[in-house]
Amino acid sequence: MATYVPITREDFETWLDSLGHRWRRAPGKEGVYLVELSPEVAVHVSSSVGSQDVAMGRARGAMYMRLVSTKTGRTLNKKDVGQSKFYRTEGWRDTLRKAFDRLRQAYMKAKGFYDKLATVDPDEYRADTLALLESVPGWESDALLRDFHERVDRGGILSTKQEQLIHDAKAKAGRGEADAGILDRMRHLWSAAKHRGDTWTMDFVKSLAEQTKARRSLSPRQQTVLSEKLTQYRIAAAST
C-alpha cells in the first residue's frame, strides 16, 4: 500500500528550485505553478498544496502536470508526461522530476513548433493556412498538400519547414504559369520571324525557349532584346 507523506509549500517550492528553471505561481491559484521553458511555453504543475501552505487531505492530494502556453493557458502536451496524475507518496520528488524531464524533452525536440503553437490563435491560423494552401494551383492533386490541408482543417499546426514547402509550391506554380506565358509569346514570335525569313530572331528565340524550359533565368540583356522583338513584331509583351 502506498505511503502518503506530508508536503508543505516550502517542500514543494524547494523541489521547484531544483529544476533549474524560473518558476512562478499561476495568478489566483494557491497550488498551481508555471515552470518556464521559454517565454512562450511552461510546464503547468498543479500541486496538492492548498491555501494553508500544506498538502490537502489524502483524497484531494493528487498532483498534475502538462505543457501549456504562457500566453493563452492552452494545453500543448499532456500525453508525454507519462501518467495522468501523481500522488504525494514517498519518492514524489523523483517521480515528478521524471515527469517534468519527459515534458521538457518533448518540448526541446520540437521547440520551434511548441513556441509557435503557444502564440497562434487556432481559428485565425486555420483560416489563414487553409487559404494559403488553397491558393496553390492544383493543390488538390498534390498528396502532400492534401495531407497538410486535412491536418490543418482538423486543428493541427504545421511546422515552419512544412509551411515553407507550401510557399515553395506556390512559387513554383507561379513560375510555371509565368514560363508558360513567356513560352507562348516566344512561339508566336518565332512563327512571325519565320514568316519574314528572320533567321537571327528565330535562333535567338529558340535559345531563350530552351533556357526558359530549363528553368534558367534570362539575363537583363536577353529580356531587353526579347521585349524589343516582341514590340517589333507587335506581339503583346509581358514581364520576363
Q: Is the pLDDT of residue 57 over 70?
A: no
3-state secondary structure of 21: coil
What is the mean pLDDT of the segment spanning 121-132? 88
Question: Are 42 and 49 spatial neighbours (Cβ–Cβ below 8 Å)?
Answer: no
* 3-state DSSP helix/strand/coil % of the chain, to nearest 5: 55, 15, 30
Q: Is 58 exposed, middle or buried (0-12, 13-18, 19+ CB in 10 A)?
A: exposed
Q: Is the pLDDT of residue 76 over 80?
A: yes
pLDDT at 53: 45
Q: Is the dihedral of CA 123, 126, 132, 134 positive or negative?
A: negative
pLDDT at 177: 61
Question: Are 231 and 237 spatial neighbours (Cβ–Cβ below 8 Å)?
Answer: yes
